[in-house]
Chain A
Amino acid sequence: DAKTTQPNSMESNEEEPVHLPCNHSTISGTDYIHWYRQLPSQGPEYVIHGLTSNVNNRMASLAIAEDRKSSTLILHRATLRDAAVYYCILSRGGSEKLVFGKGTKLTVNP
């Protein structure tokens, strides 16, 4: 299973942007970069994914380094509801299982 490295925790203030980094130096050419988050006492929630180009959706943006060895999940304006554990996961698509690490615990201060 391809591995990712994320900081254990980060803090942000409400209504400020948050940049959550992820290193995946052993990524292969067919690996997609997925981000999920898990709010307290809930199941994981899909956030965004990408392959090479930067991606935007209603929840977040994903910036992927040119060499694909790192990526950054961007929350443009953090809210208290964004406090969660954020997981960066590599997946080759198809039906492959998701391998969760410890993720980054994001605290959002009011």
Chain B
Amino acid sequence: EPEVTQTPSHQVTQMGQEVILRCVPISNHLYFYWYRQILGQKVEFLVSFYNNEISEKSEIFDDQFSVERPDGSNFTLKIRSTKLEDSAMYFCAITSMSSVHNEQFFGPGTRLTVL
């Protein structure tokens, strides 16, 4: 089973600051995804990324959000100017070369707290 790590595990920031969340898959990966989960709510899709391009994004993923693979390994989610409502758990997920029918493997998440 593919493994995914995420850093940091917890990020506290002031409103209006930029944050970068990192995802490091430890396997052969195909697609990358970011999801978020506000406390007590459903897991929500943000964006999918393939071959260095966004393949799909949700309404949540507005101009404040961006994704990239800066070094061909890490996959990052940047929030340019954080808002209080961005406080949530952010999960990275991947599909691997062995994912036959879109089985996605999730990281442990980064808890983002915006003050």
Contact = CB atoms under 8 A, between A and B. Distances in A.
B107 A91 contact: no
A34 interface: yes
A38 interface: yes
Interface stretch (B11-19, B66-74, B78-86, B96-104): B96-104
B33 interface: yes
Interface residues of A, number: 23
B55 to A, nearest CB: 6
Interface string A93-110: 111111111100000000
Contacts of A45: 106
Chain B interface, >50% SS class: strand
A47 to B, nearest CB: 10
B6 to A, nearest CB: 8
B75 interface: no
A76 B109 CA distance: 29
Contact of B91 (A44, A93, A99): A44
Interface string A61-85: 0000000000000000000000000
Interface of A: 32, 34, 38, 42-46, 49, 51, 87, 91-102
Interface of B: 1, 30-31, 33, 35, 42-45, 48, 50, 55-56, 58, 89, 91, 93, 95, 100-109
